[in-house]
């Protein structure tokens, strides 16, 4: 279906149902989690939901779907949009982790829409700072990890800088707790015994494209890297959640970690190979070596754009070939002090209390 036609149909039906839902009463203790990343709670949503459930004084609702760009997927998406609209008219708090068409189309008075986002920052431009199918608007607050994001987030999400609140993200809590990090690492080693005694490299890239043109990632020859480093090294990879599970190698020393928690994999990894993914901000908490594999840097900077000069800002080597990746690791070209300084800039808090701060913020809004 043509994208313009589809959007028109969804918008038309959505606004009709919005008028039907508008008279419904807002439940002051109801919080709805809305995501199209998957059909189950993950990452920050899961951690925040578990914490809120313990309080037992809120009604938690979930509208979760993994969008697929086909006829059946579009029908499911339309139905899901109507369900979203209902809860956006009846919940005091609406929590999002991705940009949301329904929230940008309707906004009921007395309902607070909070964009938790799914990342600890942004290298690549996104939201209203890039060409997109609809303009993002109607967010009341955006949660960030540092005041440094007030400028980029206000532009990308169409909010005032005062609406960008630096509280940290639930995902940061586990990486700031060494006991949790060690527990996670032990869990990964128990699941993958072949990792024991090896140097572990996590490969976690972002995606290219979008839902409508197709989603992919920059190809990399992991076999070349692993063989170049030798059998003292093992590579585990995890693709972006929006990408389908894919086996990248038959090599026994290259492991598919797509079904594993990214936080547990970060805790286990001695090195991270990534590109423009926000995972580089999260991993900097651990003060461990990072490699930027960016063979398409020039093209990506021109076509997508970045919020900073990648080579100058990133506190780690930028590699353009697999051979450079191997040499960087073998020759230990890392400045961990620079990674520490980078972390101090992009995180306001360095504790395990981000979830609690967000919960307190929600309490304040509900109590009015």
Q: What are the tens digits of pLDDT across the range 15-32?
A: 999 999 999 999 999 999
Range of the domain at 296: 177-346
Query: Is the distance from CB of 194 to CB of 263 less than 8 angstroms?
Result: no
pLDDT of amino acid 135: 94
- Report the run of H or E that residue 16 belongs to, with start and end: helix 3-21
Domain match, 153 and 234 both? no
Domain match, 100 and 74 both? yes
| 11-15, 86-90, 227-231, 359-363: range with lowest mean pLDDT | 11-15
Query: Is the distance from CB of 300 to CB of 207 less than 8 angstroms?
Result: no
Q: Is the pLDDT of residue 232 over 90?
A: yes
- Report the run of H or E that residue 101 belongs to, with start and end: helix 101-105
CB within 8 Å of 36: residues ≥ 6 apart: 64, 65, 66, 67, 77, 80, 98, 100
Domain match, 81 and 27 both? yes
The upper half-sphere exposure of residue 131, i.e. CA atoms within 13 Å in the direction of its Cβ, equals 6
Q: Is the pLDDT of residue 194 over 80?
A: yes
The CATH number of residue 100's host domain is 3.40.50.11820
Domain match, 263 and 313 both? yes
Helix (H, G, I), strand (E, B) or coil at 340: helix
pLDDT band of residue 73 (cuts 50, 70, 90) is confident
pLDDT of amino acid 2: 63
CB within 8 Å of 32: residues ≥ 6 apart: 60, 61, 62, 63, 87, 88, 91, 93, 94, 95
The upper half-sphere exposure of residue 233, i.e. CA atoms within 13 Å in the direction of its Cβ, equals 19
Q: What are the tens digits of pLDDT across the range 168-179?
A: 999 999 999 999
Helix (H, G, I), strand (E, B) or coil at 259: coil
Among residues of the chain, what percentage have pLDDT more than 70?
Answer: 96
Domain match, 196 and 336 both? yes
Among residues of the chain, what percentage have pLDDT more than 90?
Answer: 83
Q: Is the pLDDT of residue 288 over 90?
A: yes
The CATH number of residue 321's host domain is 3.40.50.12580
Domain match, 149 and 32 both? yes
Domain match, 50 and 159 both? yes
Domain match, 61 and 189 both? no
pLDDT of amino acid 167: 98
Domain match, 162 and 203 both? no
Domain match, 196 and 54 both? no
Domain match, 181 and 90 both? no
Q: Is the pLDDT of residue 1 over 60?
A: no
Q: What are the tens digits of pLDDT across the range 142-154?
A: 999 999 999 999 9
Helix (H, G, I), strand (E, B) or coil at 258: coil
Domain match, 217 and 99 both? no
pLDDT band of residue 42 (cuts 50, 70, 90) is confident
Query: How many domains is the chain partitioned into structurally?
Result: 2
């Amino acid at each position: 279906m043509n994208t313009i036609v589809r959007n028109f149909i969804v918008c038309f039906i959505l606004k009709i149902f919005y008028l039907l839902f508008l008279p419904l009463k807002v439940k002051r203790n109801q919080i709805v989690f809305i995501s199209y990343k998957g059909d189950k709670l993950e990452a920050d949503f899961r951690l925040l939901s578990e914490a809120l459930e313990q309080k037992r004084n809120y009604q938690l609702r979930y509208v979760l779907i993994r969008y697929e760009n086909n006829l059946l997927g579009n029908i499911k998406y339309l139905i899901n949009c109507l369900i979203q609209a209902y809860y956006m008219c009846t919940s005091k708090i609406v929590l999002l982790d991705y940009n949301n068409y329904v929230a940008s189309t309707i906004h009921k008075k007395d309902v607070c829409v909070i964009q938790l986002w799914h990342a600890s920052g942004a290298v690549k431009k996104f939201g209203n700072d890039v060409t997109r199918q609809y303009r993002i608007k109607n967010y009341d607050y955006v949660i960030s990890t540092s005041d440094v994001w007030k400028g980029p987030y206000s532009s990308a999400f169409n909010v005032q800088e005062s609406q960008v609140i630096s509280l940290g993200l639930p995902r940061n809590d586990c990486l700031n707790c060494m006991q949790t990090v060690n527990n996670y690492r032990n869990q990964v080693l128990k699941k993958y015994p072949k990792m024991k005694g090896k140097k572990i490299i996590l490969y976690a890239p972002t995606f290219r494209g979008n839902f409508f043109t197709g989603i992919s990632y920059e190809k990399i020859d992991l076999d070349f890297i692993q063989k170049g480093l030798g059998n003292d090294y093992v590579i585990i990879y995890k693709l972006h959640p929006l990408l389908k599970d894919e086996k990248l190698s038959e090599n026994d020393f290259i492991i598919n970690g797509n079904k594993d928690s990214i936080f547990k994999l970060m805790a286990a990894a001695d090195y991270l190979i990534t590109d423009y993914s926000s995972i580089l901000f999260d991993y900097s908490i651990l003060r461990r070596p990072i490699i930027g594999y960016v063979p398409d840097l020039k093209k990506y900077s021109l076509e997508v754009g970045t919020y900073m000069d990648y080579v100058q800002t990133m506190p780690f080597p930028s590699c353009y070939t697999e051979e450079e990746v191997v040499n960087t690791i073998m020759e230990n070209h890392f400045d961990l002090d620079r990674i520490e300084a980078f972390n101090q800039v992009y995180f306001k808090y360095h504790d395990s209390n981000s979830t609690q701060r967000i919960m307190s913020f929600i309490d304040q809004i509900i109590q009015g």
